[in-house]
Amino acid sequence: MATIKAFRALRPAPEAAAEVSAVPYDVVNTDEARQMAAGNALSFLHVSRPEIDLPDGTDPYSDAVYDKAEANFKQLRAQAPMLVEGSPSLYIYKLKMGDHQQTGLAATCSVAEYDGDIIRKHERTRKDKEDDRTRHILSLRAQTGPVFLTYKAAVGIDKIVNAAQAATALYDFESPDGIRHTVWKLSDESAEQLATAFAQVPLLYIADGHHRAASASRAAAKLKSEQRSNLEGEYNYFLAVLFPSDQVQILPYNRTVKDLNGLSEERFLQAVAERLTVTPGSSPSPSAKGEISLFIGGRWYGLTHKSVAPNHPEGDDLISSLDVQVLQDLVLEPILGIKDIRTDKRIDFVGGIRGTRELESVVNAGKAAAAFSMFPVTVDDLMAVADAGLIMPPKSTWFEPKLRDGLLTHLI
Reduced to 3 states (helix: H, G, I; strand: E, B; else coil), residue 263 is coil
Q: Establish if 385 belongs to a structural domain.
A: no
Same domain, 232 and 343: no
Same domain, 65 and 102: yes
Q: Do the Cβ atoms of 277 and 304 come closer than 8 Å?
A: yes
Q: Report the candidate in 70, 60, 95 with the shortest Cα–Cα distance to residue 407.
A: 95
Please state, rounded to an integer, the average pLDDT across all residues of the chain.
94
Distance in angstroms (rounded) separating the CA atoms of residues 374 and 292: 5
Q: Dihedrals φ, ψ of 244, to 5°?
A: -65, 145
Rounded (10°) CA dihedral 364, 366, 367, 368: 80
- The predicted model scores a pTM of 0.91
Would you tell me the crossing angle of helices 188-198 and 155-164 to the nearest 10 degrees? 160
The pLDDT tens digits of the residues spanning 341-372 come to 989 999 999 988 899 999 999 999 999 999 99
Same domain, 222 and 289: no
Which residues, in sequence order, are bridge partners of residue 251?
A: 398
Q: Do the Cβ atoms of 11 and 408 come closer than 8 Å?
A: yes
Same domain, 205 and 76: yes
Question: Given a cut of 60, is residue 288 above it in pLDDT?
Answer: yes
Same domain, 13 and 97: yes
Distance in angstroms (rounded) separating the CA atoms of residues 358 and 66: 36
Please list, in sequence order, all residues whose beta carbon lies within 8 angstroms of the beta carbon of residue 78, skipping any fewer than 6 positions away. none
Q: Establish if 55 belongs to a structural domain.
A: yes
Instruction: Give the type of residue at 344.
Output: D
Q: How many C-beta atoms lie closer than 10 Å to residue 57's C-beta?
A: 7
Question: Given a cut of 80, is residue 306 above it in pLDDT?
Answer: no
Q: If you average pLDDT over residues 262-282, what whole number do you get?
A: 97
Same domain, 405 and 327: no
What confidence category does residue 227 fall into, taking pLDDT thresholds of 50, 70 and 90? confident
The enclosing domain of 319 has a CATH number of: 3.30.1760
Domain count for the chain, please give it.
Answer: 2
The pLDDT tens digits of the residues spanning 117-163 come to 999 999 999 999 999 999 999 999 999 999 999 999 999 999 999 99
**Which structural domain range is residue 357 located in?**
253-375
Q: Establish if 209 belongs to a structural domain.
A: yes
Distance in angstroms (rounded) separating the CA atoms of residues 253 and 331: 16
Helix (H) or strand (E) holding 304: strand 299-305
Same domain, 100 and 207: yes
Distance in angstroms (rounded) separating the CA atoms of residues 383 and 151: 9
Q: If you average pLDDT over residues 325-332, what whole number do you get?
A: 97
Instruction: Give the type of residue at 113.
Output: E
Q: What is the CA radius of gyration of the chain?
A: 22
Task: Give the DSSP per-residue string, 13-48.
Answer: -GGGHHHH-B--GGGS-HHHHHHHHTT-TT-THHHH
Q: If you average pLDDT over residues 271-285, what whole number do you get?
A: 96
Helix segments in 141-264, DSSP class H: 155-164, 188-198, 210-226
Q: Establish if 349 belongs to a structural domain.
A: yes
Which contacts of 13-20 are long-range, i.e. CB under 8 A and separated by 24 or more positions? 13/80, 13/81, 13/82, 13/83, 14/170, 14/171, 16/42, 16/80, 16/81, 17/171, 17/173, 17/183, 17/407, 18/171, 18/173, 18/175, 19/43, 19/80, 20/44, 20/76, 20/80, 20/82, 20/406, 20/407
What confidence category does residue 310 fall into, taking pLDDT thresholds of 50, 70 and 90? very low
Same domain, 406 and 320: no
Distances (CA, A) of 271 to 264, 277, 290, 292: 10, 11, 19, 16
pLDDT at 307: 55
Same domain, 221 and 102: yes
Same domain, 267 and 188: no
Q: Establish if 391 belongs to a structural domain.
A: no
Distance in angstroms (rounded) separating the CA atoms of residues 380 and 390: 14
Q: Establish if 59 belongs to a structural domain.
A: yes
What confidence category does residue 219 fall into, taking pLDDT thresholds of 50, 70 and 90? very high
Same domain, 216 and 295: no
Question: Given a cut of 80, is residue 87 above it in pLDDT?
Answer: yes
Distance in angstroms (rounded) separating the CA atoms of residues 106 and 160: 14
Q: Establish if 155 belongs to a structural domain.
A: yes
- Whether the link from the prior residue into 81 is cis, omega within 30° of 0, is yes
Q: Establish if 382 belongs to a structural domain.
A: no
Q: What angle do CA 351, 352, 356 make, to 5 degrees?
A: 115
Q: Sign of dihedral through CA atoms 131, 135, 138, 144?
A: negative
Distances (CA, A) of 385 to 316, 378, 396: 9, 11, 12
Same domain, 170 and 264: no
